[in-house]
Amino acid sequence: MSHPITILERYWNHTSFRPLQEEIIDAVLNNEDTFVLLPTGGGKSICFQVPALIKDGICIVVSPLIALMKDQVDQLKAKGIKAMAITSGIPYSTLDTLLDNCIYGNYKFLYLSPERLQQTLVQDRIQQMPVNLIAVDEAHCISQWGNDFRPAYKNIAILRQLHPSVNVIALTATAKPKVVTEIMTELDFMAPKVFQASFKRPNIAYMVLDTQDKHYKIGQILTKYPGSSIIYTRTRRATLELHSFLESKGISATYYHGGISNKEKNDHLEQWTNNQKAVMVATTAFGMGIDKPDVKTVIHVNLPESLESYYQEAGRAGRNEEKAFAVILKNSTDEQQLKHQFLSTLPSVDFIKKVYRKLCNYFQISYGEGFLTQHQFNFNVFCKTYGFPTATAYNAVQILDRNSIISLSQQFNYQTKLQFLISSPALFGYLNTHKAFEPVVKAILRTYGGIFDQNMKINLALVSEKAMLSEDKIISTLHQLEKDGVVDFHHSNTDSELTFLQSREDDKTINRIAKTIEQQQRLKESQIDAVINYISDDEHCKSIQLLEYFGEKNSTPCGICTVCLSQSSKAKPSKSKNISYEIIVQLEQQPLTSRALVEHLDYSEQEILETLRLMLSNEILEVTSNNSYKIKHT
């Protein structure tokens, strides 16, 4: 039998393991049921990949994340290791062949979604495979109290029946104690070996900063702490706007969101990974599986939806153990926006029943029919047809997907194709007399290189964001360009594929999952409350707040978060006098805005603003008509 370190050197070119990895691998090799809680960046995949390579046979890996499955399979293949992922959308005949390859083709890893385990064909073939290990990734999904609970995860225990002598390793990055216990119960662990790293990241300064101008504050932070950074935004449009702002300020940046092509994603990721671009502006779709050690700063422009997701995203900073910063920017409207986005749009059970019935009607599914039928689906058209509010209806469809009532393809199949038929000079000549079309044409040209040479798939949502026009306006413009002989335009009305996983039984279908839905709504409410408490609590160390949320007690203050720094400054009463004196020195020259004072003085924005408030209340200063501060003369 090969030694784990030999495998690590051969395939990963590392000569030593990270903390806990070797002990975990030894437990797996000793056929122990093993629970692993390693925070983001702790190297969880190594813990099952190394022992699976040592043992004869194939490792079954269950994961809910298609993108992460594909990423890991690509990485294994690049190392010369035979691996495959079986995701949704694979025809039955192809699935049959792929499973046969796993039995007879010396494959080492088979990645599956939990939904695939419900198929009889998959279960039959797995029973015939020489399985050496069962790995359950993102294991918190098995717990009703876990982030992103998926009922299909409850079916993973079928693997223990198919291969009763094979041990299981469950892995997650974030789980509270209640969740850990439920994971091990659901997976029928016996005498489990539990490995749990501390959630403490002593090199990360957790900061919550109050600011009304977030773009300006981001520019300040990146100038003060240059280096590789990630900035998380909520929407694609915000991603593009912030990217443009940073570039206009001379800050090297690129961007990443779900609407750009795979080629663009890879190009932008490579630019950032190789430090050709310092800043990655991204939606939260970015970061899974990314292990860049030198990230200096992670900034959240919007409040996160849970402390679980925040901890994972913030934890992408400082993996090289050097000092790093995790910053949340907040203003007076953020709390209400968070509640509106994630709580006011939570669908009731009755609303979900209505959406389900309308989906069945939309695709003409008769009662008792529809099982495993596939349909091209345009969500926006569906909502318009029945007058559904899009945000609430989207959440309802997501709940139906997560609870295995339907399967909604997340690999959106944009079938809109376009090619410019005239030369570039002729096109700009045309635009001289059709100025209204300029935003659309320029957005396309700047997004899709080679569109003069070949018919290319285009993403209308992305063009819409860049041109700052509605999709309907984009489509009508392209139809007019087609009539004028400028483009060859083919437009499909579908943006995704929907598969019914159960036969239609209307309310009965939803009643079976009603308690789960209600429990998950309560969980979401508690998660939002936890985020609001975290950003509002200015009395307790931010690191301690996070650690206690995940069940770690008796920690000492970090000394580097916003709360610790604030309390440290309060302990020095002379500091306020120093700030007041330096403000007066600056204002003796001329009236200045608070922003100008922050730029001139070597104190934090919070300290300067607090001192300004005190000086105003004591009538030392007054505010001018253009919102500058000046010394008040009596």
User: Distance between CA atoms of 591 and 631, rounded to whole angstroms?
Assistant: 8
Token representation of residue 388: 């559904």
Contact 301, 214 (CB under 8 A): yes
Q: What is the DSSP letter of 633?
A: P
pLDDT tens profile 537-591: 989 999 999 999 988 888 899 988 988 888 776 655 555 568 888 888 888 888 8
Structural domains of the chain, count: 5
Q: Which domain holds residue 612?
A: 572-631
Which single residue is written with the structure tokens 């038929």? 421
- At 310, the pLDDT band (50, 70, 90 cuts) reads very high
Which CATH number fits the domain that encloses residue 590?
Answer: 1.10.10.10
Same domain flag for 616 and 501: no
Q: What is the DSSP letter of 353?
A: H
Beta-carbon count within 10 A of 217 CB: 20
Q: What is the DSSP letter of 227?
A: S
Same domain flag for 262 and 369: no
Same domain flag for 217 and 311: yes
**412 belongs to a structural domain:** no
**410 belongs to a structural domain:** no
Backbone angles phi, psi at 101, to 5 degrees: -60, -35
Q: Is the pLDDT of residue 464 over 70?
A: yes
Amino acid (1-letter code) at residue 535: I
**89 belongs to a structural domain:** yes
Same domain flag for 8 and 127: yes
Contact 52, 74 (CB under 8 A): no
Same domain flag for 442 and 513: no
Same domain flag for 172 and 38: yes
Q: Is the pLDDT of residue 459 over 90?
A: no
Please provide the DSSP assignment of 51-102 as one string.
Answer: HHHHSSSEEEEE-S-HHHHHHHHHHHHHTT--EEEE-TT--HHHHHHHHHHH
- At 534, the pLDDT band (50, 70, 90 cuts) reads very high
Look at residue 577 and give its three-state secondary structure. Answer: helix
Give the strand pairing for 279-282 and 374-377. unpaired
Q: Is the pLDDT of residue 323 over 90?
A: yes
**610 belongs to a structural domain:** yes
User: Distance between CA atoms of 373 and 354, rounded to whole angstroms?
Assistant: 20
Which CATH number fits the domain that encloses residue 310?
Answer: 3.40.50.300
Q: What is the DSSP letter of 275?
A: T
Q: What is the DSSP letter of 634?
A: -
**411 belongs to a structural domain:** no
pLDDT tens profile 133-157: 999 998 888 876 766 777 778 888 8
Same domain flag for 426 and 551: no
Contact 144, 67 (CB under 8 A): no
**183 belongs to a structural domain:** yes
Token representation of residue 398: 């997501």
* pLDDT of 542: 95
Comparing 585 with 459, the larger pLDDT belongs to 585
Q: Is the pLDDT of residue 411 over 60?
A: no
Token representation of residue 15: 């000569």
- At 413, the pLDDT band (50, 70, 90 cuts) reads very low
